[in-house]
Amino acid sequence: MATNLQFIKQVSGSGVSSLSVTDCFSANYDVYKITGLFTVSVSGYHNFRLIYSGGTDSSSTYDNAFLMMKMYDSFIEERQTGQNAINRSQYFGTQQDFVMYVFNPNDSSSYTFFTNQGGGTLGSSTNLGAKFIGVHKEAQQNTGLEFSTSSGTVTGKINVYGVKG
């Protein structure tokens, strides 16, 4: 059976505050699909930065818009510009999974764009969903991503796929 996804890499961690996915972006693809499944020690947000030849990019060139859809309370919407990471890219409950698409991460003539959606649980019965869009306003050849948590530790895995045209 033919597929438009080409598996590139899986990275996992247990009890860590950050998880780096290195050497996953190349000139072979313009679009990447990234999936993740995490359990966390403390509810909070996860953030991420791009990795390039100079290391983790913590320049203030990230913008994003975030929507958290709680079933138990009002929705939360935020917009951030000039940040040193994509903050609040997903909310962690006790378990959280997401699907993210990354566009042009290895193209030195274009910005890198992101879309993400996911769901999670708080405790055993409270569900929530989250979505975000983002941009890294620096045209550079990025090679990976570094995910981090705003609090506690993460146990989980990330899969990276190249999307064939």
Q: What are phi and psi of 97, to 5 degrees?
A: -135, 155
Residue 22 CA to residue 37 CA, distance in Å, equals 18
pLDDT at 38 over 80: no
pLDDT of residue 140: 95
pLDDT at 1 over 60: no
Report which secondary-structure segment, H or E, holds 124: none
Q: How confident is the model at residue 112 (pLDDT cuts 50, 70, 90)?
A: very high
Query: Model pTM?
Result: 0.90
* E runs forming strands in the chain: 5-16, 18-21, 31-40, 44-52, 55-56, 62-70, 76-83, 86-92, 95-103, 112-122, 126-136, 142-149, 154-163
> How many of the other CB atoms lie within 10 Å of CB of 29?
22
pLDDT of residue 69: 83
Range of weakest confidence among 60-69, 116-125, 139-148? 116-125
- Pairwise pLDDT comparison (82 vs 120), residue with the higher score: 82
pLDDT of residue 121: 72
Residue 58 CA to residue 47 CA, distance in Å, equals 12
Q: Tokens 């138990």 appear where?
A: 72
Domain boundaries, the chain: 5-163
Which of 140, 135, 122 is CA-nearest to residue 54? Answer: 140
What average pLDDT does the segment 72-100 reach? 80
Q: How confident is the model at residue 41 (pLDDT cuts 50, 70, 90)?
A: low
CATH topology of domain 5-163: Jelly Rolls (2.60.120)
Mean of the per-residue pLDDT values of the chain: 87
Which of 91, 2, 111 is CA-nearest to residue 43? Answer: 91
